Amino acid sequence: MKNFVVKTIANAGALAVAVWILDKITLTGTSTGKKIGTLIVVALLFGLVNFLVKPVVKVLTFPLFILTLGLITLVVNALMLLLTSWIAGKLDLSFHVEGFWTAVLGGLIISIVSWALHMVLPDED
């Protein structure tokens, strides 16, 4: 359970950095508390998408992983971020990613920040 909480906090932090750096990834809200709550829900949603959908996409695109020497990972991460944005819109959450290239850059930022936070935060169960 502790590992799940740490991963969710790392995802929320990484998403917050992406929202802060990129203008086309937006998180709106009336107050700071509402923004933090939305960010945590979006982080849970992002974790769920990465847990359920990403392995299927990786299996289906395995030949492209080999052909591009893993660079297709950037596209897969962007698609997972766009899917999270779409689901957040359907759930009436105020999180939006505008455009594919923004999602590619956002996915790269989220991957780097998430990795750094996983190095700092404890992860034992």
> Residue 45 corresponds to which amino acid?
L
**Which tens digit of pLDDT belongs to each residue from 23-75?**
999 998 788 888 899 999 999 999 999 899 989 998 999 999 999 998 999 99
Please state the domain extents for the chain.
1-124
- List Cα–Cα distances, 60 to 37, 91, 107, 115, in angstroms: 34, 28, 20, 25
Q: What is the pLDDT of residues 86-125, one digit of tens each?
A: 999 999 999 999 999 999 999 999 999 988 988 887 766 5
Cβ neighbours of residue 64 closer than 8 Å, sequence gap 6 or more:
72
What's the pTM?
A: 0.88
- For residue 29, what pLDDT is reported? 78
What residue has token string 């999270």? 84
Q: Which two tokens stand for residue 79?
A: 């698609």
Whether 65 contacts 58, CB under 8 Å:
yes
